[in-house]
Amino acid sequence: MLGGEEFEIETEELPADRVAVPESFAEQANVTPGQLRRFTEEGVDAWEMAGDLLTWDRPYRTVFDAEACDWFPDGQLNASVNCLDRHLDERKNQRALVWEGQLGETRTDTYLELSRKVNAVAAGLRELGVEEGDVVTLHMPVIPELLVTMLACARIGAVHAVVYAGFSAEALATRMAESNSSYLVVSDGYYRRGDAVSLTNRAETVRAGLDQDVTTVVVDRLGDNHQYPLGADEHQYRRLLADHRGETVDPVPRDATDELFLIYTSGTTGEPKRVTHTTGGYLAHTAWTSHAVLDIEPSDTYLCTADLGWITGHSYIVYGPLALGTTVLLREGEADQPPRTKLWELIEKHAVDILYTSPTAIRTFMKWGEEYPEEYDLSSLRLLGTVGEPINPDVWQWLYEHVGGGECPVVDTWWQTETGGHLITTIPGVDEMQPGTAGPALPGIEATVVDETGAEVDPNTGGYLAIETPWPGMPRELSEETRWAETSGVLPDSEWAYMTGDGAVVDDEGYVTILGRVDDVINVSGRRYGTLELESVIVGVEGIAEAAVVSGYDGRDQGIYAYANPDTDAADELALREAIYQAVETQIGSFARPDRIVFTPELPKTSSGKIMRRLLSDIAHGNELGDTSALRNPEVVGEIESATQSD
Ligand code: 6R9
């Protein structure tokens, strides 16, 4: 797991000074240092604070069973009850969901209305044969129907698997095959920056590639001009909803350890990596961090700009915020898509209290200029959060000043698909902030930085980030593979550890600065790409002998750089380039299209024959080249450098 050789730590740019907690915020913050002390005093049992934010059908007596590595093992609950039913007494007429569509539409659902829709869709899914434990694949843009269907699955104990709408039919089929899913809820298409993208025929293509039969429900997103012809075993979502209007479905009590959903992410193998989150631990973790870190209260209007198809959308649009009974503003489309005033206009229009977004989007806003946010009244904002990648100190400052007016804390939250929820971040109102540094591990979490041998390194020294305590949002795969009591053998000094795949530095006070990925995964614009997955698609193109994918930087933006070696000298590079784009688009999706394709006569290799990705990454970033003495073919370096620059 520790892929040592290729990993070099840069510690030159250590973080700037700390910023104090704005006092006005601290006075009203959801958690106080006193409450958090319970983690020091009670250890793992303090996670009871998270469990107690939920409503249980059968209350748990044990918080964590170390033997089995299970959270709240004897408890039973239903996630849709926690996100809907239990709020109805107090706030049935409060808005649960406000949706802003790509075409300028606004749709609102109160908690009561949302709950009725979820019940109707749950009844519809049941009628189609969906049973507890079945995997239902959802493939849609950010529209209310997606959120409704997620909660409808949760209500009947079905396991949803959302596949981001930008994935290709082939990528969708691979995921459905892996999870043996026989149900697909898909939209007829989606709008991307105003243009309609059709998903018609997607179900057909998927079916052709699968062994199992598939029952499909089609959601109408594109309107009457884009009628989706229904085939056999295809049903209309609208019909389903109308046929079951007014029906109620008893929520299925689930064991805390039962799966709530599956989600696929990029791992270190070429295959997409399945991550399974639990009903009790995951929901407790996301509810607790939504409360303690995002400071969400029921009276808030909360905006998170992530896509529902990724983990951030699951944890911090759907489950955490709705478990707390807040008003969620859902926006279809990317945070930084034009018009340049859109996001600020939405914040003013809906008097948004909390904004959770990505460093990439903020970098774009910064490039556009502060005049856009300045045109709007953003004084409703109380807290700002970022996720997905490190945020540079100057970008942090820009957000703090030009969006938060110097009065809103910024939480830089580090976590992963695998962790389910936040693990490293400051707690607003409690911890001082340090621009460029995620912050300390959450109370109850131990984050360590270790070297290649697994030994803890000294403070302010780079190494591999490991998590040495279990946490409620841990995925089932981790509980199953790494029983808490057994040693994983990775770290000599600890009983158990989860290796995150990130490089990091910890300072004397325990603040963690993330340096980026150290495994065969790259993170571009807050999205994880398995380099092996991309490389195998590129190598699959006829005429390409070898390929290596790294992240690169052109002085303005981070991007995916693909280095490819054609198998003849006389290759038609233009045609090959097109073929590569085509292959990535059909096998993964256009969002993974490389920003640069550089053809080279050879890839740089170590004497043992490994492609030296670190060198390619240095070249792609325009960095000083590190030690190249281990190279078998140093003569190619200059050529690759000039090809990268001229491309
Ligand atoms: C939630 C999410 C996880 C990877 C992770 C790391 C990077 C996420 C970060 C951050 C620096 C932060 N990452 N948050 N790096 N600072 N605050 O993004 O999940 O898509 O699985 O990506 O993202 O490299 O390992 P996921």
CA distance 377 to 28: 22
In the chain, pLDDT over 90 holds for what percent of residues?
Answer: 79
pLDDT at 623 over 80: yes
DSSP string, 331-397: ESS-TTPSSTTHHHHHHHHHT-SEEEE-HHHHHHHHHH-THHHHTS--TT--EEEEESS---HHHHH
The structure tokens listed for 414 are: 């580090």
Q: Report the C-alpha gap between 119 and 155 in whole angstroms.
A: 8
Q: Do the Cβ atoms of 601 and 613 come closer than 8 Å?
A: no
Q: Nearest C-alpha to atom 4 of ligand 1 is from which residue?
A: 416
Name residue 558's amino acid. Answer: Q
Structure-block tokens of residue 85:
């039913």
Interval between CA 416 and ligand 1 midpoint (Å): 5
Averaged pLDDT for residues 126-135:
98
C-alpha of residue 94 to centroid of ligand 1, in Å: 33
Give, as one character, the DSSP assignment of residue 20.
P
Distance CA 146, CA 332 (A): 11
Closest among 220, 260, 213 to 77, alpha carbons compared: 260
- CA angle at 412 for the pair 409 and 413, rounded to the nearest 5°: 125
CB-CB contact of 152 with 261 (8 Å) = no
438 has pLDDT over 60: yes
Query: H or E element: which one contains 232?
Result: none
Whole-number Å distance, alpha carbon 443 to ligand 1 midpoint, is 19
CA of 424 to the centre of ligand 1 (A): 10
- Most confident by average pLDDT, 406-415, 474-483, 546-555: 406-415
* Cα-to-centroid distance, 319 and ligand 1 (Å): 19
DSSP secondary-structure letter at 117? H
Determine the atom of ligand 1 nearest the C-alpha atom of 501: 25
- Residue 628 confidence (pLDDT): 82
Give the pLDDT confidence score for residue 270 in this predicted structure.
84
CA of 414 to the centre of ligand 1 (A): 6
The two beta strands, 596-599 and 558-566, are parallel
pLDDT at position 5 is 42
Count CA atoms closer than 13 A to 180's CA, side-chain side.
2
User: Which regions of 507-626 does DSSP assign to beta strands (E)?
Assistant: 512-517, 521-524, 527-530, 544-553, 558-566, 596-599
Find the mean pLDDT for residues 291-295.
Answer: 98
* Mutation to probe ligand 1, out of 1, 389, 464 (largest number of atoms < 8 A from CB): 389
Query: What is the atom index within ligand 1 of the atom nearest the CA of 315?
Result: 1
Is residue 6 pLDDT above 50, yes or no?
A: no
Q: Tens digits of per-residue pLDDT, 518-547?
A: 888 999 988 999 999 999 999 999 999 999
Question: How does strand 135-139 pair with strand 183-187?
Answer: parallel
Which of the two residues, 479 and 239, has the higher pLDDT score?
239
Ligand 1 centroid to Cα of residue 117, in Å, is 33
Distance from residue 205's CA to the centre of ligand 1 (Å): 32
**What spacing in Å lies between the alpha carbon of 527 and ligand 1's midpoint?**
8
What pLDDT, in 10s, does the model give residues 12-68?
A: 454 558 999 888 999 999 999 999 999 999 999 999 999 999 999 999 999 999 888
Kindly give the distance from the C-alpha atom of residue 248 to the centroid of ligand 1, in angstroms, as a whole number: 39
Q: d(Cα 40, Cα 373) in Å, to the nearest integer?
A: 42
So where are the chain's domains?
A: 525-646
Q: What token pair was written down for 150?
A: 């997620």
Of 268, 282, 387, best ligand 1 pocket probe by most atoms within 8 Å of the beta carbon: 387
Ligand 1 centroid to 288 CA: how many Å? 19
pLDDT tens, residue by residue, 329-354: 999 999 998 899 999 999 999 999 99
Residue 64 in tokens: 């964590």
Q: Best substitution site from 433, 467, 502, 513 to test ligand 1's pocket, by max atoms within 8 Å of Cβ?
A: 502
| Residue 283 pLDDT | 98
**What pTM value is reported for the model?**
0.94
Region 620-631: mean pLDDT is: 86
Q: Map residue 216 onto helix, strand or coil.
A: strand
The CATH topology of domain 525-646 is GMP Synthetase; Chain A, domain 3 (3.30.300)
Q: What is the ipTM of this complex?
A: 1.00
Question: Which position has the token pair 């400071």?
Answer: 295
DSSP 262-300: EEEEE-SSSSEEEEEEESHHHHHHHHHHHHHTS---TT-
Instruction: For residue 530, give the amino acid letter.
Output: G
CA–CA dist 539, 546 (Å, integer):
6
2 has a pLDDT exceeding 50: no
Residue among 414, 437, 506, 522 to mutate when testing ligand 1 (max atoms within 8 A of CB): 414
Q: pLDDT tens for residues 215-227?
A: 999 999 998 666 6
Going from the Cα of 520 to the center of ligand 1, the distance in angstroms, rounded, reads 14
Most ligand 1 atoms within 8 A of CB, residue of 478, 499, 522, 523 to mutate: 523
Pocket of ligand 1 (CB under 6 A): 265, 310-312, 387-390, 412-417, 438, 500-502, 514, 517, 523, 526, 528
Nearest CA, atom 3, ligand 1 = 416
Distance CA 99, CA 607 (A): 56
Pocket test for ligand 1, best of 304, 415, 515 (most atoms within 8 A of CB): 415
What is the per-residue pLDDT for 478? 82
Tokens (6 digits) for 569: 């000298």
Atom of ligand 1 nearest to the CA of 386: 17
Cβ neighbours for 34, distance < 8 A, ≥ 6 positions apart:
none
User: Is residue 97 helix, strand or coil?
Assistant: strand
Helix (H, G, I), strand (E, B) or coil at 579: helix
* C-beta of residue 502 within 8 angstroms of C-beta of residue 509: no
More confident residue, 612 or 224: 612
Arithmetic mean of pLDDT over the chain = 92
Nearest-CA residue for atom 6 of ligand 1: 389
pLDDT of residue 607: 82
The amino acid present at 409, given as its one-letter code, is P
Strand partners, 523: 528
Index of the ligand 1 atom closest to the CA of residue 500: 25
Backbone angles phi and psi of 187, in degrees to 5 = -90, 160
For ligand 1, the distance from its centroid to the CA atom of residue 103, given in whole angstroms, is 31
For residue 528, the CA-to-ligand 1 centroid distance in Å is 8
Q: 156 or 336: which carries more pLDDT confidence?
A: 156
Do the beta carbons of residue 46 and residue 37 sit within 8 Å? Answer: no
In the chain, count of helices (H) and strands (E)?
Answer: 23, 29
Q: What is the pLDDT of residue 537?
A: 95
Region 96-119 average pLDDT: 97
Burial class from Cβ neighbours inside 10 Å (0-12, 13-18, 19+) for residue 393 reads middle
Which is the closest atom of ligand 1 to the Cα of 418? 21
